[in-house]
Structure 1
Amino acid sequence: MTFEYHVAKNGSDLNEGTKLNPFLTINQAASVATAGDTIIVHEGEYREWVKPKNSGLSKTRRIIYKAADGEKVAIKGSERIKDWQQVEGTVWKTTLPNAFFGDYNPYKEEIFGDWVVYNPGRHLGDVYLNGKSFYEAENMEQVKNPTVQTEVLDHWTDKVVPVHNPVQTKYVWFAETDENTTTIYANFHEEDPTQELVEINVRKCCFYPEETGINYITVRGFEMAQAATPWTPPTADQPGLLGPHWSKGWVIEDNIIHDSKCSAISIGKEASTGNNYRSKRKDKPGYQYQLESVFLAEHAGWTKEKIGSHIIRNNTIYDCGQNGIVGHLGCVFSEIYNNHIYHIGLKREFYGHEIAGIKLHAPIDVQIHHNRIHDCSLGTWLDWQTQGTRVSSNLYYRNNRDLFVEVSSGPFIIDHNILTADYALDNHAQGGAYVNNLIRGKMVHRKMLDRPTPYHVPHSTQVAGFAATYGGDDRYFNNIFISDEGLENVGTDHYNGYPTSLEEYIEIVHENPGDHEAFNKVEQPVYINHNAYLNGAKSFEREDGKITADQFDPQLSITEQGNEVYLSCVLPDDFEKMLGEVQTTQTLNRVRIVDADFESPDGSEITLDTDYLGDKRSEKSVLGPISKLQKGKNHIKVWG
């Protein structure tokens, strides 16, 4: 027998949870709901950390948490503060007993953990005025005399970049804590905080189980915001504002998620497999602890039967300090699609090597498709064990970088994407297939010989071996590469000197004496054919069947009209004359290190015959992500 429980702001936790007599809190419903039950939450703000207690049992016997149809339901990790006293000019303060925060005070807790590179004493707290977040000052002088900062240093590229929404930088806060109280100072300028909506971060999460193994949960239709989430590197516990906490089979759909101090949705690891030991113990590199976490996870039941297989779809995620979606190990076999992710990692109050719209480690068989990702520090970063992963038909624009694949041996597929950032692609991996993409922007190709990383039995978490990243073993077919003034390294010419078949590679290797030393010296084979190079993009020297138009400017632009996004470009007169073949398991060649084919997650052969817009390609069709591209002017809706 299944039940439908109701939660409403006029309810009571002493009620039975019916529509006529609803509960007051979502947690009360969570404490009684079991497999097959549905929890319907009615309109209003719920300031609580929802901690699911019970697990669903299967895809069809799950526990569903949903906002009532047509009703706006917000779950917040913040509390409203009305008690402000004016200190000096436009600076106000509020003093709260530490008991107000319980055992987790975000104004004591600093941004801390492995791979945090820059943090001038900033904390997990935040202050919001009518929904807009402030910036944490480093001292009281900055609160009294805030300056508008229009540019900051991007620590990864060492370039100065614009601050997102720089007018907000004048709104700042600073906190002092002692044994008994926490005092928060804020500069509200012309606003009176006693008359406006002012909120502060209080709780770590909005919807996140305390226990692991809470499986088959659906979370649908909520707004979730303003959580004091901690830094989430791959070597630590990874709580997000929302997430399954080392479980299986969650569906997270149709939500609006924003203002997480660090990460919004986490599908990552838990604490027993390592928790910032590099930063705490300081005795081994983070790389070593990350290796250990993979084996600790195996001992903790990291298998397809127990972990992962989540669906994250149709969500809007924005204004988070570290990640829109994050996960190490716990993300395996998941599907992430139709999400709109933006304004991630742009406040730059802190910085580390784990920031992106989507940042996944060990995304085995994860399918990332049809997402709109823009105005992020980095769009998507796939790091370690990118195997069986497919990134398909995603729209990237106005990011500082679009896509980064690191220290992985494949096979992985990057197909039918639109990448338009000035810095489009970081390829520090091997064994990838880049098919039918539009790539406008800088491309960086690097080897990583000093960090051997695991690879797996295909479609499994079982470790099969370790390998350094030699560079190469990549495939580029049917792509359109576009350079522009001031851009460099656009195209495939960085593979010049690489062999073009496994047979040629083996022959060269065995002309060199030694064992592993020979493999370190010889470039891996690459398979590059039927690409277009426009406006100065450069081709691989041994490529056959290509279009080269050095002086042709396609006038590429991405424009927004409301929630719709359009791609405009001009293509050469001979564009339609060269057609690319549909790529399949049979044409892409097995990857060398893993000795595995490019396949679907279920092990069946894959055929890349569906374009960005969902149209079926003929056996031969035009290059790029959209099969109806044509010579001359193109103006195509690519979102909305």
Structure 2
Amino acid sequence: MEYHVAKTGSNQGKGTKQDPFLTINKAASIATAGDIVTVHEGVYREWVNPRCKGLSNKRRITYRAAEGEKVVIKGSEQIKTWQHVEGKVWKVVLPNSFFGDYNPYEKELFGDWLVVDETRHLGDVYLNGMSFYEVSSFNKLINPVMRTEILDHWTQKIVPIHNQEQTKYVWFAEVDADNTTIYANFQDADPNKELVEINVRRSCFYPKETGIDYITVRGFEMAQAATPWAPPTADQPGLIGANWSKGWIIENNVIHDAKCSAISLGKEASTGNNYCSLRKDKPGYQYQLEAVFSAERNGWSKEKIGSHIIRNNTIYDCGQNGIVGHLGCIFSEIHHNHIYNIALKREFYGYEIAGIKFHAAIDVHIHHNRIHDCSLGLWSDWETQGTRISKNLFYNNNRDLFVEISHGPYIVDHNILASEHSLDNASQGGAYINNLICGKMVQWKGLDRSTQYHLPHSTKIAGFSFVYGGDDRFYNNIFIGKDSLENVGTSHYKNYTTSLEEYIEKVHEKDGDLEVFVLVEQPVYINSNAYFNGAEAFERENCNLVDESFNPNFCIIDKGEEVYLSCELPESFESILGEIKCTKNLPKVRIVDAEFESPDGSNLALDTDFLDAKKAEKSSLGPISLLKKGKNYIKVW
């Protein structure tokens, strides 16, 4: 059955093309497995709450924008009744009933691992699509100070505000027993003559019940949802999301202006909901451990959860994440998405922010994404196991990639990491193959948090371990330094062992048990890498190319829809080739005792490059086989 929705329709209609429904929710209340909901052009201000689930990949429920028509779903309402107060400040008074049971101007931003300088709320004000900044008092509305820079809490560096002019546009709200009064400084604009919108709904497309499986959402623009802070120890709603379900496909959408997270593949509240912040009796780390066990008791498995596909979406201007997920992201595929301007507004901060932020990304494949101008590009945290991060383009981020407190095996291959801070590695068991790495690399151990690892390709818990550092593999990468940068390359593995046999021998030279395993550095497997312009090599790397004085003049050229890589490589570049890495020639990881293999357990070969070209048995280093000595100018998006 195909149902139609149009702005000319009626919810008393039949839902046919000739007699369409008025709202998407009307169709969502009756669509069942195998049905299609086609939505025609217009702006739909509603929270779409699918009631029924699909039954399999062949019997999905598909929600789609009509071909060639622009369909927008918004979590906001347009306001045309602003009253002038003084100067450039206006106000609107709305009854609390206007917001139903979710008032974003009353609800505070709250949760585990959140950092705020002063109270923030979930609401926002938009002038012709531009979001405002919240201030804490009416007096701060009159003469707002344009901010030019702010402290990055993670790196402790002063960084510029993304859109400095935007910081002059500010709002403040007061909520009493009956009314919500919103004040805003519109500068020289008349809000009753422009498009002014305010947040009203938490989500745009999100089932209120869990277990709504096999849903496809295709071709919409979705924006302006008052989503809450979404740490891994809480319910994690997004502007759009699967809400603890299986088999969603979210594709070909434009998604922007989520207060916190845009797409959610995360967990739900029954396994814990900000207990660290509420109870204050245990650290968030402890509650996160408990959430994993609670989820497993409640049926967290490949059979019930995950296996989502997120592809070909454009995601931007969100406060916390472009895509978020703890536990619910397992066995998913995230590819060909364009993600940018995430967490750059900097009204709030916290330790759960990134273009993509996953916990327990078991057998998740993240590939062919363009991620730039984010506070952090991709953060794979806890239980990064069977995860493959491949053929992604990172640039102009404060940091590109962070892999935290995981034991592997995980693969990072054929990526371009072009920001000045390329990699934070607080894990072990990684294989970094054929990447182009142009920025700082920081590696550290995690000896204060013993975390879970799993049976291969399963959510079943196999054991616990600290992160000892090492047990990493670096093959066929190109490292390019920069005058002002330190720690580019693999030299930070100095004094690490280079084989499991050597490690075992050194461990058993001493008497004891746990303590001697901590004293000896785990093996690292590093070979056939190139180092330029001050990048430094691991001292025990047998075969490499080191030219510290050669400057490749590397840059990423962003032309909007297209992106190009430009660099120059020395004559010696073609003197070193790298073999194709695969299951057979990548040493297994120590703690998990598992191989680098495909999710189905078959052998894995990294035999295609960033551009998906088939590689020769011996090919050039880096992510792109076309790279050669001399000047290179290659389209990478």
TM-score relative to the length of structure 1:
0.99
What is the match of residue 416 of structure 1?
414
Taking the TM superposition and a 5 Å limit, the aligned residue runs for 1:124-273 are: 124-273=122-271
Deviations 1:42-78 (A, max 9, x none): 0000000000000000001000000000000000000
What is the match of residue 593 of structure 1?
591
Deviations 1:156-213 (A, max 9, x none): 0010111111111111111111111111110011100011100000000000000000
Q: Distance in 2 between matches of 1:427 and 1:366?
A: 18
Q: Distance in 2 between matches of 1:375 and 1:95?
A: 37
Report the 3-state secondary structure (helix = DSSP H, G, I; strand = E; otherwise coil) of the residue aligned with 1:375.
strand
Deviations 1:124-147 (A, max 9, x none): 000000111111112222211111
Q: Distance in 1 between matches of 2:297 and 2:37?
A: 34
Letter in 2 for 1:252: I
Match of 1:493 among 491, 494, 508: 491
Query: Within the alignment, does 1:91 sit opposite 2:79 as a pair?
Result: no
What is the match of residue 283 of structure 2?
285
Letter in 2 for 1:422: E
How far residue 255 of structure 1 moved from its aligned partner, in angstroms, is: 0.2
What is the match of residue 391 of structure 2?
393
Q: Distance in 2 between matches of 1:521 and 1:318?
A: 45
How far residue 118 of structure 1 moved from its aligned partner, in angstroms, is: 2.1
What is the match of residue 384 of structure 1?
382
Q: Distance in 1 between matches of 2:502 and 2:516?
A: 14
Letter in 2 for 1:21: D
Report the 3-state secondary structure (helix = DSSP H, G, I; strand = E; otherwise coil) of the residue aligned with 2:278.
helix
Q: Distance in 1 between matches of 2:91 and 2:557?
A: 43
Match of 1:20 among 12, 18, 29: 18
Q: Distance in 2 between matches of 1:562 and 1:203?
A: 32
Deviations 1:260-305 (A, max 9, x none): 0000000000000000000001111100000000011011110000
Conserved in 2, the CA contact under 8 Å of 1:383 and 1:407? yes
How far residue 119 of structure 1 moved from its aligned partner, in angstroms, is: 4.2
Query: Within the alignment, does 1:112 sit opposite 2:110 as a pair?
Result: yes
Q: Distance in 2 between matches of 1:69 and 1:231?
A: 34
Deviations 1:80-116 (A, max 9, x none): 0111000001100001111111111100111100001
Match of 1:578 among 576, 579, 590: 576
What is the match of residue 638 of structure 1?
636
What is the match of residue 355 of structure 2?
357
Report the 3-state secondary structure (helix = DSSP H, G, I; strand = E; otherwise coil) of the residue aligned with 2:205.
coil
Q: Distance in 2 between matches of 1:480 and 1:592?
A: 26
Letter in 1 for 2:396: R
Q: Distance in 2 between matches of 1:173 and 1:277?
A: 31
Q: Distance in 1 between matches of 2:592 and 2:560?
A: 45
Report the 3-state secondary structure (helix = DSSP H, G, I; strand = E; otherwise coil) of the residue aligned with 2:583.
coil
How far residue 558 of structure 1 moved from its aligned partner, in angstroms, is: 0.5
Report the 3-state secondary structure (helix = DSSP H, G, I; strand = E; otherwise coil) of the residue aligned with 2:198.
strand
TM-score relative to the length of structure 2:
1.00
Taking the TM superposition and a 5 Å limit, the aligned residue runs for 1:343-492 are: 343-492=341-490
Conserved in 2, the CA contact under 8 Å of 1:416 and 1:437? yes
Unpaired runs of at least 5, structure 2: none
Report the 3-state secondary structure (helix = DSSP H, G, I; strand = E; otherwise coil) of the residue aligned with 1:55.
coil
Taking the TM superposition and a 5 Å limit, the aligned residue runs for 1:41-56 are: 41-56=39-54
What is the match of residue 335 of structure 1?
333
Deviations 1:422-444 (A, max 9, x none): 11100000000000000011000
Match of 2:542 among 544, 566, 581: 544
Worse overlay, 194-203 or 554-563: 554-563
Letter in 1 for 2:525: Y
Q: Distance in 1 between matches of 2:241 and 2:116?
A: 26
What is the match of residue 63 of structure 1?
61
Conserved in 2, the CA contact under 8 Å of 1:111 and 1:119? no
Letter in 1 for 2:597: E
Deviations 1:207-226 (A, max 9, x none): 00000000000000000000
Report the 3-state secondary structure (helix = DSSP H, G, I; strand = E; otherwise coil) of the residue aligned with 2:584.
coil
Report the 3-state secondary structure (helix = DSSP H, G, I; strand = E; otherwise coil) of the residue aligned with 2:585.
coil
Deviations 1:212-264 (A, max 9, x none): 00000000000000000000000000000000100000000000000000000
Unpaired runs of at least 5, structure 1: none
Report the 3-state secondary structure (helix = DSSP H, G, I; strand = E; otherwise coil) of the residue aligned with 1:40.
strand
Q: Residues 461 and 226 from structure 1, CA distance in 2 versus in 1: closer, same or farther, beyond 3 angstroms?
A: same
Query: Within the alignment, does 1:517 sit opposite 2:540 as a pair?
Result: no
Report the 3-state secondary structure (helix = DSSP H, G, I; strand = E; otherwise coil) of the residue aligned with 2:25.
helix
Q: Distance in 1 between matches of 2:350 and 2:558?
A: 31
Q: Distance in 1 between matches of 2:421 and 2:138?
A: 38
Deviations 1:313-360 (A, max 9, x none): 000000000000000000000000000000000011001000000000
Letter in 2 for 1:378: L
Q: Distance in 2 between matches of 1:637 and 1:215?
A: 38
Q: Percent identity?
A: 70
Q: Distance in 2 between matches of 1:371 and 1:100?
A: 39
Report the 3-state secondary structure (helix = DSSP H, G, I; strand = E; otherwise coil) of the residue aligned with 1:548.
strand
- The number of residue pairs the alignment matches comes to 637
Q: Distance in 2 between matches of 1:122 and 1:144?
A: 19
Q: Distance in 2 between matches of 1:146 and 1:617?
A: 56
How far residue 562 of structure 1 moved from its aligned partner, in angstroms, is: 3.0
Q: Distance in 1 between matches of 2:107 and 2:438?
A: 41
Report the 3-state secondary structure (helix = DSSP H, G, I; strand = E; otherwise coil) of the residue aligned with 2:257.
strand
Q: Distance in 2 between matches of 1:512 and 1:43?
A: 72
Q: Distance in 1 between matches of 2:208 and 2:512?
A: 53
What is the match of residue 273 of structure 2?
275
Report the 3-state secondary structure (helix = DSSP H, G, I; strand = E; otherwise coil) of the residue aligned with 1:574.
helix
How far residue 29 of structure 1 moved from its aligned partner, in angstroms, is: 0.2
Q: Distance in 2 between matches of 1:23 and 1:155?
A: 48
Q: Distance in 1 between matches of 2:164 and 2:469?
A: 40
Q: Residues 92 and 106 from structure 1, CA distance in 2 versus in 1: closer, same or farther, beyond 3 angstroms?
A: same
Q: Distance in 2 between matches of 1:149 and 1:113?
A: 26
Report the 3-state secondary structure (helix = DSSP H, G, I; strand = E; otherwise coil) of the residue aligned with 1:466.
strand
Report the 3-state secondary structure (helix = DSSP H, G, I; strand = E; otherwise coil) of the residue aligned with 1:499.
coil
